[in-house]
């Protein structure tokens, strides 16, 4: 039987000296500002009846590691001995592993611009030495070893002591065990999620919203404050939000056209087909450019195809995007060639419907695959909703119809497409409102999801959500679609796109701002 390495942290002995953090940095040449091991410190109570609690924090070397599944290039790997290792030579810097980790254990190395984390000092473990943090600890508070060996110290301690782990509900099966782990350290949501000061500097009441701290089913009657912590980051920024809009619009144009041509019998001119296909292709190219731009190592973007890890929805999504753009590109080339008189219009008409039907299933895949990618990002609980896939499909139809309405109003040969696209836009806006209500009016299962939803509807993003997304992005354009002012199609389309872009920004940002450590 191969070894199964794990850690035990004995909080009865830990004195918070940070020797483990220092040894880790020295042994692994970890740059300043990022950490593989750090000591989280919290203070509980009010002077003079306060207590301080330490927690050695790092990668949990999970038996079921979500960072390995989401990595598109096998840069994150799980060894046979249970160590979750990384290979910086394969990493493209997509930061998906950071989103997948429920423990904030992964960071982007500022020197190599690739993902890194605790790797159990595997270069030492492989030659029979203990990790540097274990050797340096003056209190022997850190134990490491083979949990499959019943004679090992870690196995004997696990058999005789009651231990706890961080976030067992995530199903990652972490192998970093704490003896007398304090709940305010184990559960990051019990302390202020955006502290402006720390315990040594000020006294600050925490968690005044959305409700009181609950510990063991009782309302906490004391203060809780972070004394020291690292290294919560927001890995994905505006390019990811923009990519959701451009990807949805590219797929949505094809889906709207399939509905109009296949379901309603609308017959387009070559000029209308050329504009539509070209717009979808351009948006797909922009989508790909945004994805590459967001990589920390953009020069390695082809690794996702040359070194694929097929369980990752980043890899699967890349294949869907390539297939979709290839079909739409061939279709657009044929339609433009017909408009320019390079090929007979009859030839373009003959292949138009087959090309559209070939593109349609890949349009659906392009629209919804991000739901499964976000589902693999297990560190962000709000993204784990079963509503996300249908929501993305509706958003794609919304974006596609809104863009077609705008193009029709600009006199691009799509004038006939304007009225039916406006009707589809109106229906999509109403359905999207229902999906938003279903998502944010329901009770969320975890603190992390609840706090992210609260930030969107009642916290720092509330004005943008209710003002830009709901009122200006849904209510006003829906009225323009169905009301007596339906001739203002361009305004309806533009407002819908602004509302969608605003929502994607909020939806991407808010869950990342809830700390996991």
pLDDT at 301 over 80: yes
pLDDT at 412: 67
Q: Residue 157 class from Cβ within 10 Å (0-12 exposed, 13-18 middle, 19+ buried)?
A: middle
CA trace torsion 254, 257, 259, 263 (10° rounding): -140
SS3 for 510?
helix
Q: What is the maximum alpha-carbon separation in the chain? A: 88
Share of the chain above pLDDT 70, in %: 91
Residue recorded with tokens 């510990």: 215
190 alpha-carbon distance from chain centroid: 23
pLDDT at 279 over 70: yes
Higher pLDDT, 415 or 217: 415
pLDDT at 479 over 70: yes
pLDDT at 229 over 90: no
Contact partners, residue 475, CB within 8 Å, separation at least 6 = none
SS3 for 45?
coil
Please calculate the CA angle 223-206-224 and round it to the nearest 5 degrees. Answer: 30
The Cα–Cα gap between 181 and 162 comes to 10
| Mean pLDDT, rounded, for 371-378 | 97
Give the architecture-level CATH label for domain 238-512.
Answer: Up-down Bundle (1.20)
The Cα–Cα gap between 299 and 303 comes to 9
Q: Where are the domains of the chain?
A: 5-228, 238-512
The Cα–Cα gap between 252 and 270 comes to 20
| Mean pLDDT, rounded, for 492-506 | 97
pLDDT at 282 over 80: yes
* 189-199 confidence digits (pLDDT tens): 887 544 555 55
pLDDT at 484: 64
Which range among 68-72, 179-183, 333-337 has the greatest average pLDDT?
Answer: 68-72
SS3 for 325?
helix
The Cα–Cα gap between 80 and 63 comes to 11
pTM of the complete model:
0.91
Phi, psi at 134, each rounded to 5°? -70, -45
When pLDDT is cut at 50, 70 and 90, the band that residue 485 belongs to is low
pLDDT at 146: 96
The Cα–Cα gap between 442 and 17 comes to 44
Inter-CA distances, 79 with 119, 132, 315, 502, Å? 11, 20, 21, 42
The Cα–Cα gap between 232 and 517 comes to 7
Provide CATH code, domain 5-228.
3.30.70.20
CA trace torsion 211, 217, 223, 229 (10° rounding): -90
pLDDT at 414: 74
The answer to whether 420 touches 260, Cβ cutoff 8 Å, is: yes
DSSP at 26: H
pLDDT at 95 over 90: yes
70-104 burial string, b = 16+ CB within 10 Å, else e? bbbbbbbbbbebbbbbbbeebbbbbbbbbbbbbbb
The answer to whether 330 touches 354, Cβ cutoff 8 Å, is: no
Residue recorded with tokens 């433009």: 336
The Cα–Cα gap between 173 and 18 comes to 26
Q: Is the dihedral of CA 306, 367, 292, 109 positive or negative?
A: negative
Residue recorded with tokens 């429920």: 102
When pLDDT is cut at 50, 70 and 90, the band that residue 260 belongs to is confident
pLDDT at 184: 87
Both ends of the chain: CA-CA distance in Å? 33
SS3 for 200?
coil
pLDDT at 113 over 50: yes
Higher pLDDT, 250 or 219: 250
Higher pLDDT, 223 or 232: 232
Phi, psi at 44, each rounded to 5°? -120, 135
Inter-CA distances, 13 with 140, 143, 178, 298, Å? 7, 11, 11, 45
Higher pLDDT, 419 or 164: 164
DSSP at 214: E
The Cα–Cα gap between 514 and 452 comes to 7
pLDDT at 264: 66
DSSP at 399: H
The Cα–Cα gap between 264 and 70 comes to 40
The Cα–Cα gap between 414 and 351 comes to 20
The Cα–Cα gap between 344 and 349 comes to 9
Q: Which of 42-56, 64-78, 349-363, 491-505 has the lowest mean pLDDT?
A: 42-56
Half-sphere exposure (CA, 13 Å, Cβ side) for 59? 32
DSSP secondary structure string, 254-282? HHHHHIIIIIS-----HHHHHHHHHHHHH
pLDDT at 206: 45
| Mean pLDDT, rounded, for 387-392 | 97
pLDDT at 246: 97
The answer to whether 34 touches 47, Cβ cutoff 8 Å, is: no
**No. of helices (H) and no. of strands (E), the chain:** 18, 13
pLDDT at 213: 45
Q: Which residues partner with 214 through β-bridges?
A: 219
């Amino acid at each position: 039987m191969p070894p199964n390495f794990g850690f035990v942290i004995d909080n009865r002995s830990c004195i918070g000296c940070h020797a483990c953090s220092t040894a880790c940095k020295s042994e692994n040449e970890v740059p300043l500002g990022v950490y593989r091991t750090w000591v989280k410190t919290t203070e509980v109570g009010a002077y003079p009846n306060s207590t301080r609690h330490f927690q050695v924090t790092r990668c949990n070397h999970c038996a079921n590691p979500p960072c390995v599944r989401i990595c598109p290039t096998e840069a994150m790997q799980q060894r046979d001995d249970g160590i979750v290792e990384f290979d910086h030579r394969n990493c493209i810097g997509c930061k998906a592993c950071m989103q997948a980790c429920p423990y904030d254990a992964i960071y982007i190395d500022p020197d190599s611009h690739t993902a890194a984390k605790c790797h159990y000092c595997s270069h030492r473990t492989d030659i029979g030495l203990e990790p540097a943090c274990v050797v340096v600890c003056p209190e022997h508070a850190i134990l490491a070893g083979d949990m499959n060996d019943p004679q090992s110290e870690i196995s004997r301690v696990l058999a005789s002591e009651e231990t706890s782990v961080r976030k067992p509900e995530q199903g990652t099966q972490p192998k970093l065990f704490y003896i007398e782990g304090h709940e305010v350290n184990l559960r990051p949501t019990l302390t202020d999620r955006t502290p402006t000061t720390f315990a040594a500097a000020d006294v600050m009441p925490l968690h005044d919203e959305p409700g009181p701290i609950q510990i063991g089913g009782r309302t906490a009657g004391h203060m809780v404050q972070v004394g020291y912590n690292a290294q919560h980051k927001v890995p994905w920024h505006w390019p990811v939000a923009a990519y959701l809009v451009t990807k949805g619009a590219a797929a949505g144009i094809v889906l709207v056209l399939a509905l109009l041509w296949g379901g309603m019998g609308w017959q387009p001119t070559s000029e209308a087909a050329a504009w539509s296909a070209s717009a979808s292709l351009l948006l797909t190219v922009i989508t790909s450019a945004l994805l590459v731009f967001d990589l920390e190592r953009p020069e390695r973007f082809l690794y996702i195809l040359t070194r694929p890890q097929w369980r990752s929805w980043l890899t699967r999504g890349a294949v869907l995007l390539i297939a979709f753009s290839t079909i739409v590109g061939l279709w657009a080339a044929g339609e433009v060639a017909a408009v320019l008189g390079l090929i007979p219009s009859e030839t373009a008409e003959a292949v138009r419907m087959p090309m559209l039907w070939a593109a349609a299933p890949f349009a659906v895949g392009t629209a919804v695959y991000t739901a499964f990618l976000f589902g693999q990002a297990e560190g962000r609980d709000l993204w784990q909703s079963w509503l996300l896939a249908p929501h993305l499909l509706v958003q794609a139809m919304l974006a596609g119809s809104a863009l077609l309405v705008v193009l029709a109003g600009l006199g691009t040969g799509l004038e006939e497409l304007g009225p039916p696209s406006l009707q589809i836009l109106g229906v999509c806006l109403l359905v999207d409102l229902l999906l938003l209500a279903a998502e944010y009016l329901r009770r969320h299962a975890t603190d992390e999801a609840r706090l992210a939803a609260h930030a969107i509807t009642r916290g720092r993003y509330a004005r943008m959500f209710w003002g830009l997304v709901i009122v200006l992005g849904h209510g006003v354009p829906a009225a323009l679609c169905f009301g007596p002012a339906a001739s203002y199609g361009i305004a309806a389309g533009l407002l819908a796109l602004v509302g969608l872009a605003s929502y994607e920004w909020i939806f991407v940002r808010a869950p990342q701002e809830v700390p996991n450590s």
